[in-house]
Amino acid sequence: METTPTNQEDQKNRNSKALLYSVIGILITLNAGLFYIWQKGGNEKKIVEKELETTNTNLKEKIAALKEAEFLLEKFRRDSAALVDNNKELNNNLIKKKNEIAALVTKLRNNKNASDSEIAELKAKIQELDTQLKQLQKENEELKEVNTKLQKEKEETQTENRQLSAEKKKYKNIAQRLQAGSIRVEALKKRWITGKEATTFRAKDVEAFRTSFMLAENKIAEPGDKTIYVKVTGPGGITLTNPSSESGIFEYENKQSKYTYKFTITYDQESIAVPATIWRPAIDLKKGKYSIELYCDGFKIGSESLYLK
């Protein structure tokens, strides 16, 4: 049977459609495969990104925890040193926690991929140590206040002791002070006929002053040699001195004062009559009041005066 042209064309159309469907099927299959691969790649990318994000978070937490731990370890060192200075024993539990944190810090620094549990453990120990360090700091402040108070009390006590010591010394010195009594001052002149000295009240005739006195008994005073300073003051309150080595300066009431002459006696705590001393002025005397003051051991022990015409 011969194939007609119409049948040939139909067969050709059918073959063309079959090929077209095959191509479409292949394309659909390829697209489906490509879509699956793309979708799978996207999911894997999300997983990788999520893991990377988790890793970065863990790393940040690890770094933050390590910094906080090192800060607390340094704080522990300072505060514990302060307590040791204040003679306070450190709590064994506190030292144990400090050592545990130090060990964890070393471990995490050497371990790049620290687990969540390790970081959580470090954070928990940091929290415990921080709480105890705050208590330690509070104790330090309390100790500081106590030490400041004690130091202030010590300084006040030392000041009081110095004051009491000074007062005691002052009163002791006062109690030891010698007292001159029966002071007698005479202005002397020489008689022309006999050459003997006689008393006078005429300023132009005076050649010397003669001074005598008694020292009273004092069982508290230190026995031994005593230097007596004699200060002769003329009209106008001027201390009379001669241009010689017999005069000088002595201390009285924390000030320097001139003396006319001085002499030394031996004192044994008993009443004693001090031998008369004579001082001869190198200048002519004026009319007026003349005072003779006696000093010993920084105290004024007596005085007497007379008037010259």
Q: For the chain, count helices (H), then strands (E).
A: 3, 10
Residue 87: its pLDDT value, please? 44
Residues of the chain with CATH 2.60.40.1930: 180-308
pLDDT above 80 for 256: yes
Strands (E) in 200-247, as ranges, are: 208-215, 224-233
Q: For residue 83, report the phi and psi dihedrals to the nearest 5 degrees.
A: -65, -40
283 band by pLDDT with thresholds 50, 70 and 90: confident
Residue 267: its pLDDT value, please? 94
Query: How many other CB atoms are there within 10 angstroms of residue 195's CB atom?
Result: 7
Adjacency order of strands within the sheet including 224-233: 261-267, 224-233, 288-296, 299-308
Q: What percent of the chain has pLDDT over 90?
A: 30
* Residue 246 DSSP SS3: coil
Instruction: Give how far the C-alpha of residue 266 lies from the chain's centroid of Cα atoms, to the nearest Å.
Output: 51
pLDDT above 90 for 277: yes
Selecting from 3.10.20.440, 3.50.50.60, 3.30.1180.20, 2.60.40.1930, what CATH number does the domain 180-308 have?
Answer: 2.60.40.1930
Average pLDDT over all residues of the chain: 77
- When mean pLDDT is compared over 20-24, 150-154, 195-199, 264-268, the highest value belongs to 264-268
Q: Considering only CA atoms, which of 129, 290, 275, 101 is closest in space to residue 206? A: 290
Report the distance separating Cα 9 and Cα 229, nearest Å. 164
The encoded tokens of residue 300 equal 């004024």
Span 124-174, pLDDT tens digits: 767 776 676 677 667 767 777 877 887 888 888 787 778 766 666 666 667
Span 214-246, pLDDT tens digits: 999 999 888 999 999 999 999 988 999 998 778
Q: What is the pTM of this model?
A: 0.50
The encoded tokens of residue 157 equal 């006590």
Element (H, E) at 301: strand 299-308
Residue 239: its pLDDT value, please? 93
Using the structure block, give the residue that is written with the tokens 């105890």.
Answer: 132
More reliable by pLDDT, 203 or 104? 203
Sign of dihedral through CA atoms 41, 46, 47, 49? positive
CA dihedral 283, 286, 290, 294 (to 10 degrees): -10
Q: What angle do CA 171, 269, 174 make, to 5 degrees?
A: 15
Residue 245: its pLDDT value, please? 76
Q: Considering only CA atoms, which of 135, 77, 66, 134 is closest in space to residue 101? A: 66
Span 48-106, pLDDT tens digits: 566 556 556 665 666 666 676 666 666 666 655 555 555 455 566 667 766 777 776 77
Residue 1: its pLDDT value, please? 46
